[in-house]
Structure 1
Amino acid sequence: MIESGLAGKNVVVTGGGSGIGRASALRFAAEGARVLIADLNAETAESAAAEVRAAGGTAEVVAGDLSRQEVVDEVVAAAVERLGGIDVLVNNAGIMDDLSATADVTDAVWERLIRVNLTAPFLLTRAALPHMLERGKGSIVFTASEASLRGSAAGTAYTAAKHGVVGLVKSTAVMYRDHGIRVNAVAPGGTATAIAVEAAPAPGGPTVVGTYATNIGRVADPAELAAAIVFLASDAASNISGAVLPVDNGWSAV
């Protein structure tokens, strides 16, 4: 049996204050890892960290908008200084769009979705990689989406951003495959999290998306996604890189 190899590792989880991120932080801590929880919401991040500590684990917090370079720099510096480095990065933080179709997407929605869902994980990955390269190994796991696999699970902006995440995963996996760094993603389907539609959408997008919503199947608990994320980060997945793992109750197979 292959052990997870996560005991004593240093793990950064973005969006770690709630939903999939919080469940992942708790699961990593249960495996013996030290976690840094990065989240826009300081209160929920501190609450998650307190839960980790109450269970006997180690948790640090950085609160801020990860689409800003200075916050990304703070997260990486905190992981290095407070935990001792970065072994695992979980790029989980994200927001939903307003389900608008292409002709209805505003500049503000487009720019915010791309910035938060694609640019922010790129910035953090770019900042973390030198530390992993120095160690000669590392694991990065992204939260993609069912919308990264098809065009009928969200609005145009969210779908484009999550397809971009898959490209980022695959390119980074190839570029660093000979440096001991693995890069993968989970693609959640319906999951019980706090993520919500950002605003009142134009009618066209939701009408089309709703046509396919009956295929969603059972809504997952965040802990089910956390289990997949921890697996991909662990030594049990030591020969897996560049993969996008649907965790969607078979939605992507319909």
Structure 2
Amino acid sequence: MRKLENKVAIVTGAGSGMGKAIAIRFAKEGAKIIAADINSERLESLEEEIDNFGGTVSTIITNVAKEDDINAMVELAIASYGTLDILVNNAGIMDSFEPVGDVSNKLYERVMKINVEGPLKAMRKAMSVFLPKNEGNIINICSIGGLNAGRAGAAYTASKFALVGLTRNTGYLYSKSGIRCNGIAPGDISTNINDNIDLGKITAMTRDRILAGVPLSPHSADSDVIANAALFLASDDSTFVNGEILVVDGGWSAY
């Protein structure tokens, strides 16, 4: 039997990278997918790919910075499949490695709204489904940047440290309610998250203090390694894992 047979899963940022890999892997394991993303063309491509192998998917344009979009995403799961079992908060954005002295209000607020507020509001909405049935599973895609302070700029680092704390807090507080909440901390994964980095803002400090550590990563990995980790956390293979952050970085952060 497939590991997620008849489960209903929401995946944000499902149009590309880790979100796409997770949505496809979950669908192949029998889950019914609500694929949420801000890009309609990417969603159409994902839908076609899942349809081609006989998977079940519904797509929805979602900007996780907007609470109405988040609510609509969860409501679509209920309307389409009658429930929600798994929430994967994957959507996120990067900064341009700005140290705190260079962070603008606009950048900080945007990063926090997408990387922290979006997951929090999605989790809060999902609780309205999870709590009545005493069952639910949340997986937050965090980052080794939320465990180590020198992997990104101040805004991204702050957002991912906050998401790690939110993940652990939720896992602990709801552990007697049949709800699990875990995170994955990816290392160097080949995705399009770096597309929004403004290379013109890379400074001598960035090159000296942040980019100098990049060669310590053994190699870049593809998004399937994160999908494998997410499947473990979503399935019954991890029933006693809760409030944990699973590092998937090939040993980079062990240095």
TM-score (normalised: structure 2)? 0.96
Amino acid at match of 1:7: E
Secondary structure, counterpart of 1:183 in structure 2: strand
Whole-Å separation in 2 of the counterparts to 1:131 and 1:221:
33
Whole-Å separation in 1 of the counterparts to 2:132 and 2:207:
46
Whole-Å separation in 2 of the counterparts to 1:227 and 1:103:
38
Q: Which residue of 1 aligns with 2:148?
A: 150
Q: Which residue of 2 aligns with 1:46?
A: 44
Question: What root-mean-square deviation, in Å, do the aligned CA atoms of Structure 1 and Structure 2 show?
Answer: 1.2
Amino acid at match of 1:185: G
Q: Which residue of 2 aligns with 1:162?
A: 160
Contact 1:4–1:236 (CA under 8 A) maintained in structure 2: no
Contact 2:14–2:23 (CA under 8 A) maintained in structure 1: yes
CA displacement, residues 52-99 of structure 1 (integer Å, 9 cap, x when unaligned) = 111101100110211101101110110110122110000000011011
Q: Which residue of 1 aligns with 2:32?
A: 34
Secondary structure, counterpart of 2:59 in structure 1: strand
> Is 1:111 matched up with 2:109?
yes
Identity of aligned residues (%): 36
> Is 1:237 matched up with 2:238?
yes
Whole-Å separation in 2 of the counterparts to 1:189 and 1:126:
27
* Pairing 1:1-12 to 2, within 5 Å after superposition: 5-12=3-10
Unaligned runs of 5+ in 2: none
4+ runs of 1 displaced by more than 3 Å?
A: none
Secondary structure, counterpart of 2:193 in structure 1: coil
Q: Which residue of 1 aligns with 2:89?
A: 91
The Cα shift of 1:202 comes to 4.8
The Cα shift of 1:4 comes to 6.4
Q: What is the count of residue pairs matched by the alignment?
A: 252
* Pairing 1:78-227 to 2, within 5 Å after superposition: 78-196=76-194, 197-199=196-198, 200-203=200-203, 204-227=205-228
Unaligned runs of 5+ in 1: none
The Cα shift of 1:129 comes to 1.0
Secondary structure, counterpart of 1:24 in structure 2: helix
> Please, which moves more after superposition, 241-250 or 3-12?
3-12
The Cα shift of 1:229 comes to 0.7
TM-score (normalised: structure 1)? 0.96
Whole-Å separation in 2 of the counterparts to 1:127 and 1:79:
12
Whole-Å separation in 1 of the counterparts to 2:182 and 2:84:
16
Amino acid at match of 1:35: I
Contact 1:4–1:234 (CA under 8 A) maintained in structure 2: no
> Please, which moves more after superposition, 210-219 or 73-82?
210-219
Contact 1:99–1:206 (CA under 8 A) maintained in structure 2: no
Amino acid at match of 2:254: A
Identify if the C-alpha distance between structure 1 residues 233 and 215 changes in structure 2 by more than 3 Å, giving closer, same or farther.
same
CA displacement, residues 190-241 of structure 1 (integer Å, 9 cap, x when unaligned) = 0011111432325133431012112122111101110001111111000000
Whole-Å separation in 1 of the counterparts to 2:3 and 2:54:
18
> Please, which moves more after superposition, 196-205 or 243-252?
196-205
CA displacement, residues 105-160 of structure 1 (integer Å, 9 cap, x when unaligned) = 11111111001101101010000111011221111000000101101111110000
Amino acid at match of 2:21: A
